[in-house]
Amino acid sequence: MHRIGVLTSGGDAPGMNAAVRAVTRMAIHSGSEVVGYEHGYQGVLEGKGKILKLGSVGGIIDDGGTFLGTARCGEFREVAGKKKAIKQFEKDGVEGLIVIGGDGSLRGAQGLFDLGFPVVGVPATIDNDICGTDYSIGFDTAVNTVLDVISKIRDTASAHERVFVIETMGRTSGWIALYAGLAGGADFILVPENVPETIEDLTDPIIRGHERGKQHSVIVVAEGAASGMDVAERVQEKVGREVKLSVLGHMQRGGAPTAFDRILASRLGAHAVELLLANRGGMSVGLVGNKVSACWFTEAYSHGKELDLEILELAGILAL
């Protein structure tokens, strides 16, 4: 392909910039030009593409966010929107596209592919809910951000002998809560994939911990499992201690990507170019067992990536 397009779409994730850098430099290395579209599919519909040179992606590997900008685009969800996008690609001389984003973005990519346009996807979302890859870009950074908060909260929780509820993002998936909770030694991790039947299933281990002398407790709640506010109120009724709540929100999406995310983004971005130039569209790249791989879009987003419940069980045992 003489010229390919690249865009970042959906919720931003740390490492998106590193992925755009890898796409751009790998494509140029392979003899193709690159057009970067601003604000995802929205920017395509508005004709906001610009040529990316080697220097356009210099100095961005360590930046959070995405310098191209991102958006969730209603118009593109319709078939008419996708047809309009293909017309814009033709106008721009763009023969194939690399989409960096989460499940909604990959769904959009499938729609373009169904209309005959070559597209390859790169999974980037802090939620880690894309199949066909062990990790999505941004997840590791988000986990480390939450971990940092857990450690800081533990200091004050311990000083006041309080119980803290920390609500994490993740939409309908519990991966961020699970990994950050395990790494942070949380006393309980509440995830949508395994909601306890009764409040006592959550509070009994906390009470047992206090009885054996624990000074404080940290409960990590994934937003898809319950509202942190509800959990905090219900726990306070049962444990007879002051319960405080921290809802972490969008801070989890910001910050410089970790080394892991930069390496993941570099490998996946480059592999996406290889696939697109080999005319293997319709696929989402991934890292499986530390090897780059790819699966069909439909497999990548059709069902949320299953949470590893063995890790959840382990976290419960280690929190005793």
For residues 206 and 231, which CB has a smaller minimum distance to ligand F6P in the complex?
A: 231
260 and 181 Cβ atoms separated by less than 8 Å: no
For residues 126 and 220, which CB has a smaller minimum distance to ligand F6P in the complex?
A: 126
Q: Is 191 in the site for ligand F6P (CB under 6 A)?
A: no
Run of H or E including 309: helix 309-318
| Helices and strands, number each (H, E), in the chain | 12, 11
Q: Which of residues 255-314 bind ligand F6P (CB under 6 A)?
A: none
One residue of 127, 167, 187, 193 binding ligand F6P per CB under 6 A = 127
For residues 107 and 253, which CB has a smaller minimum distance to ligand F6P in the complex?
A: 253
Pairing of strands 96-101, 119-123: parallel
Q: Is 102 in the site for ligand F6P (CB under 6 A)?
A: yes
Q: Is 14 in the site for ligand F6P (CB under 6 A)?
A: no
One residue of 25, 171, 262, 271 binding ligand F6P per CB under 6 A = 171
Question: Across the beta sheet with 33-37, what order do the strands follow?
Answer: 49-52, 33-37, 3-9, 96-101, 119-123, 283-288, 291-296
Size of residue set near ligand F6P by CB under 6 A: 10
One residue of 170, 184, 269, 281 binding ligand F6P per CB under 6 A = 170
Q: Is 107 in the site for ligand F6P (CB under 6 A)?
A: no
Decide: helix, strand or coil at residue 121: strand
188 and 266 Cβ atoms separated by less than 8 Å: no
One residue of 42, 110, 125, 141 binding ligand F6P per CB under 6 A = 125
**Among this protein's residues, is 127 annotated catalytic?**
yes
Segment contacting ligand F6P by CB under 6 A, of 58-66, 78-86, 163-171, 254-262: 163-171
The gap between the terminal CA atoms of the chain, to the nearest Å, is 57
126 and 138 Cβ atoms separated by less than 8 Å: yes
Q: Pick the catalytic residue: 63, 92, 114, 127?
A: 127
Decide: helix, strand or coil at residue 207: helix
Decide: helix, strand or coil at residue 39: coil
Contact positions vs ligand F6P (CB under 6 A): 11, 102, 125-127, 169-171, 223, 253
Any idea which residues carry the catalytic annotation?
127
